Amino acid sequence: MKLFTALLMSIILFCTTASVFGQDSLNINIISRLDTPGWARSIAVSNGHAFVADSANGVRIINVEDRTNPWHVGVFDPLSEAFEVNVSEDILYVTTRSGVHILSLDNPATPEEISVYENGQFGTIQVQDGIAYLSYGRNLRIVDVTDPENPTFISDCGVVASPLGIDISEEYAYLACNNDGGLRIIDISDLFNPVAMGFYDTIGWANDVAVDGDIACVADGPRGLHLIDISNPDSPQLISSVDLPGYSRRVQIIQNHAIVAASGGGLRIVDFSDPEDPMITGFYRTPGGAESIYAKSIRLCS
């Protein structure tokens, strides 16, 4: 069972229900919690509703308009294990073992399926400007979803290991790849001919990446968080690293802060205003393993 946790910083976090840690925290206050019945792996939020990829229990739909009182309003069953969710322009994308389900969020409490892109098992997904970027085996797959009723294959770009996290910035896709894949950079200026550029081989197991300007923050599993200079996409270079407890799975950036879901290490906030000297400025020990996170804003106090 997973635990839904809403935090004071407009963060929504999902974590396992496991052995209970001490409720230690720094600069973070808990607002509310809600259980989901399965293995909550991913979250997206739109129009006051959270959509949770709950593995074999489908996509759980949770009303979060009142953060102090979240409540279940429905479920979407893709008839296959739900891996990841993403929302773009009131369209919900759900990756599964059997393809990508595309749903309208005109009524977010009861999303309506529009189509299914049934070309295999997909993992992580990012959607930007009508283009979906997907993990497909050891490939970055690019799909045109400008017409959600007719998703269309554009191209594949092979990489050495499966992408677990994807971020898109300008004309580049940044991939966090498992095993020894590390950070991979793909030139997507020509969607029909993506080109592999440089890479940085992290020392852990790259799970996720978030990009802010010339810095990529990589959640590197047991090796914490790495800040990587991507100003030269042919040769990314390590700037600094932060050791974090637990297993760094997901990362999001807001206002020079990396917000990390660190599994057994809970939620960690890293200030990288000085990227050569990043500092942990907040944490919350969740009652289980923090698996995924959605962050909208952060309140900075001096």
Q: Judge whether residue 60 has pLDDT over 80.
A: yes
Q: How far apart are CA 130 and CA 143, in angstroms?
A: 9
Domains in the chain and their CATH numbers? Answer: 2-295 (2.130.10.10)
More confident residue, 191 or 18: 191
User: Taking all residues of the chain, what is their mean pLDDT, rounded to a whole number?
Assistant: 89
Cβ atoms of residues 272 and 258 within 8 Å: yes
Share of the chain above pLDDT 70, in %: 90
- State the pLDDT at residue 298: 67
pLDDT band at 13 (very low <50, low <70, confident <90, very high): low
Q: Judge whether residue 177 has pLDDT over 60.
A: yes
- State the pLDDT at residue 155: 97
Q: How far apart are CA 150 and CA 24, in angstroms?
A: 48
Share of the chain above pLDDT 90, in %: 74
More confident residue, 258 or 121: 258
pLDDT band at 19 (very low <50, low <70, confident <90, very high): very low
- State the pLDDT at residue 299: 64
- State the pLDDT at residue 8: 36
